[in-house]
């Protein structure tokens, strides 16, 4: 196989050792990523509002969930595509398609009332594009910054996600209030569009010597990526730990929290406060990593953070008072944010850049592809047995990831580069 380079501006790569938060190239990427993520948040608000207006609650739920199917089915193939074409090119193409699709739906909603079929089609397009977008986004940081800065980049990326979750919902609500779903879709499309010229100006590092892009068939390239992960002493247990943590986390902190708030009489405002506590904790963890740039004993610290977060998840179902629930959610966010950022940084620094698209696709498959499909199961289980047992089982699954990390010496001793 021969190495190829991704088309990019002719400027030279950033100088090694420059702090990521002072690197204009990294900040350009971060601005593009933040704008795209805020656009995503506005899009989901617009989609849910339009679906509720066009159909029944059950139909609206189906529209919201349909994007998870192509995402789950195509995610691994998206990792191969990111490694073949280069992550920057794939992200630019993905954002261009998403922008065009959302703006087209906004225009159609202004001219007519096409109904649920149009919204379902948009959700399928988004899920399909996400299947290639997410692995490429995961592969980009290693081509932007020096290895010693990748932990800081992960922290900055976490802050961007928190910012998007805090600002996207109010902005989407404002769009709906001013001009209905069409206006909200228009805002989402414009925000995603902002990312494209910024990404065009981002320059990447060349692949290290010996790291070549995939050159076989897609099936062989995928098999090669899976073999690479399976035989890697750190990545194999790390990907499994991430999968267990996400499986135990997604149900309780999504549908489970909504049902818990309803059972306890906290109402929508109370649930919002609990989610805010989680967001503050997660944002604090991301800020810590962005500010420090590196935390020692990363493998140990990630394992203990997963275990502590799992205990907090289990405790959340047994906290009767709203202030205590907010405090517990803050701890969940803090430990989950810390473990997630550290696991992401370890994945970035231990994987060869030529395989990062495929590695990211495998690591993301459970949390972003499979776990959302299990949310109706979590809701049904809570209806049958109550929130307590379901939260405890979810906490045990999440905690198994921390136990695994402690039991595998290579992962337990893994460090981030200085």
Query: Which of residues 48 and 330 earns the better pLDDT score?
Result: 330
Report CA-CA distances (Å) from 139 to 343, 359, 361: 14, 9, 9
Position 215 scores a pLDDT of: 65
Q: Which of 204, 251, 242 has its CA nearest to residue 23? A: 204
Q: What percent of the chain has pLDDT over 90?
A: 44
- pLDDT above 70 covers what percent of the chain? 91
Residues 6+ apart with CB under 8 A from 378: 251, 252, 254, 255, 256, 390, 394
| Per-residue pLDDT reduced to its tens digit, 360-410 | 999 888 777 676 666 677 777 777 888 888 889 889 999 999 999 999 999
**pLDDT digits 0-9 by tens, 6-21:** 444 434 444 455 788 8
Within 10 A of 215 (CB to CB), how many other CB atoms are there?
Answer: 12
Model pLDDT for residues 104-122, shown as the tens digit of each residue:
999 998 887 777 888 999 9
Structural domains in the chain, sorted by start: 21-199 (1.20.1250.20), 218-412 (1.20.1250.20)
Q: pLDDT band for position 236 (50/70/90)?
A: very high
- Residue, of 396 and 62, whose pLDDT is higher: 396
Q: Which of 94-98, 185-189, 210-214, 315-319 is least confident?
A: 210-214
pLDDT band at residue 145, thresholds of 50, 70 and 90?
confident
Residue 142 CA to residue 217 CA, distance in Å, equals: 25
Q: Is 374 exposed, middle or buried (0-12, 13-18, 19+ CB in 10 A)?
A: middle
Band of residue 91 on the pLDDT scale cut at 50, 70, 90 = very high
Q: Give the mean pLDDT of the chain.
A: 86
Q: What pLDDT score was predicted for residue 14?
A: 46
Q: What is the mean pLDDT of residues 320-334?
A: 91
CA 29 to the chain's CA centroid: 16
- Taking every pair of C-alpha atoms in the chain, what is the biggest distance, in angstroms? 62
Q: Give the lowest-confidence range in 149-158, 183-192, 262-271, 394-403.
A: 262-271
Kindly report the backbone phi and psi dihedral angles of residue 7, in degrees, each rounded to the nearest multiple of 5, phi listed first: -60, 135
Give SS3 for 362.
Answer: helix
- Highest-pLDDT range among 48-57, 146-155, 205-214, 236-245: 236-245
């Amino acid at each position: 196989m021969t190495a190829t380079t991704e088309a990019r501006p002719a400027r030279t790569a950033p100088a090694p050792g420059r702090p990521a938060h002072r690197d204009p190239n990294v900040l350009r990427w971060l601005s593009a990523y933040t704008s795209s993520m805020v656009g995503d948040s506005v899009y989901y608000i617009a989609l849910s509002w339009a679906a509720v207006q066009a159909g029944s609650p059950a139909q609206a739920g189906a529209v919201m969930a349909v994007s998870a199917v192509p995402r789950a089915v195509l995610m691994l193939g998206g990792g191969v595509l990111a490694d073949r074409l280069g992550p920057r090119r794939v992200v630019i193409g993905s954002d261009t398609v998403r922008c065009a699709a959302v703006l087209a739906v906004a225009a159609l909603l202004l001219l007519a009332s096409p109904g649920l079929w149009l919204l379902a089609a948009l959700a399928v397009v988004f899920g399909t594009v996400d299947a290639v977008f997410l692995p490429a986004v995961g592969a980009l940081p290693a081509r932007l910054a020096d290895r010693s800065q990748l932990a800081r980049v992960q922290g900055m990326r976490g802050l961007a996600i928190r910012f998007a979750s805090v600002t996207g919902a109010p902005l989407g609500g404002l769009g709906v209030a001013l001009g209905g779903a069409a206006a909200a879709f228009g805002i989402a499309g414009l925000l995603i569009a902002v990312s494209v010229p910024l990404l065009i100006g981002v320059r990447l590092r060349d692949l290290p010597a010996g790291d070549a892009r995939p050159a076989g068939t897609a099936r062989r390239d995928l098999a090669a990526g899976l073999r690479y992960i399976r035989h890697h002493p750190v990545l194999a247990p790390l990907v499994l730990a991430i999968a267990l943590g996400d499986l135990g986390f997604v149900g309780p902190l999504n549908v489970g929290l909504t049902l818990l708030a309803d059972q306890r009489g906290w109402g929508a405002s109370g649930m919002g406060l609990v989610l805010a506590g989680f967001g503050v904790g997660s944002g604090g963890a991301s800020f810590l990593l962005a500010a420090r740039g590196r935390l020692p004993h990363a493998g140990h610290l990630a394992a203990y953070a997963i275990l502590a977060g799992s205990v907090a998840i289990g405790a959340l179902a047994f906290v009767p008072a709203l202030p205590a629930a907010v405090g517990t959610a803050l701890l969940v966010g803090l430990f989950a944010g810390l473990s997630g950022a550290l696991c992401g940084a370890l994945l970035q620094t231990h994987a060869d850049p030529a395989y990062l698209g495929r590695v990211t696709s495998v690591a993301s498959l459970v949390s972003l592809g499979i776990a959302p499909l299990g949310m109706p199961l979590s809701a049904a289980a809570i209806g049958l047995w109550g929130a307590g047992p379901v939260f405890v089982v979810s906490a045990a699954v999440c905690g198994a990831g921390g136990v695994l990390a402690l039991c595998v010496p290579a992962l337990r001793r893994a460090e981030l580069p200085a």
